[in-house]
Amino acid sequence: MTTIETALDPAVAARWRTLQARLAEIARLYPDAALASSLAAEDMVLTHAIYDGGIGLEVFTLDTGRLHAETLGMLDAVQARYGRGITVYRPEAAAVQAYVQAHGAHAFYESVELRKACCQIRKVEPLKRALAGRGAWITGQRRGQAATRGELPEAEQDPVFGLYKYNPLAAWSEEDVWHVIRALDVPYNPLHDQGYPSIGCEPCTRAIRPGEDVRAGRWWWESSDSKECGLHAGNRVIAVAVAPVKSTSV
């Protein structure tokens, strides 16, 4: 038996093999595709599948300037483990400064509009730069993560950024994710052990209480139906479930 087959529960091992095959197929169809990593658990599973499996896909992250030290520490952890780094995109300093001068350093607490404006500067605009010129991107989203992700397809035409988007963990459970992490010794953000199932910017993320939704700690002062930052604004749209075959002329 292989290491994977002995380390993982048979059902999860089957999911893992399907995941690796899916990522390899994405790399074949879209050699310029990349994983947008938040450096959280789901994205570390995908990073492990890509890097440990020798799949030629780029992994990048968005350093918003407000991340936890533990999150930033994952960059060194990935480099040490896999010998491959993660590309880092940062917001435009002038835009951040203008927002702070106009509204204050913590204006995102005042309204959904100001919070989303902050996310636009620190996350959405850098993501647009990261995706420019690519044919597809990959995320670690799962259907069980939030009310806005309940209809999440495994593949979709992204209505926000105008390229193809893959969510290969869409049908995975939280238990599947952690089974893989533990069994394959995948590095993960230590904040997960401190009650943070979902991790974003430090001022906008708190640990959750027993029984709370996994994303209750994200923008906890807002209602659950607004808890997206703009990176996945199309989640409210039920998209197609099967990826088209890429034309050779693309």
For the annotated catalytic residues, the residue numbers are 229
Neighbours of 19 (CB within 10 A): 20
Q: Which amino acid is at 120?
A: Q
Tell me which residue of 122, 130, 169, 170 sits closest to 150, measured CA to CA: 170
CA atoms within a 13 Å half-sphere pointing along the CA-CB vector of 102: 10
Q: How far apart are the first and last CA of the chain?
A: 40
User: How far apart, in Å, are the Cα atoms of 45 and each of 28, 41, 186?
Assistant: 20, 6, 7
Total count of residues recorded for the chain: 250
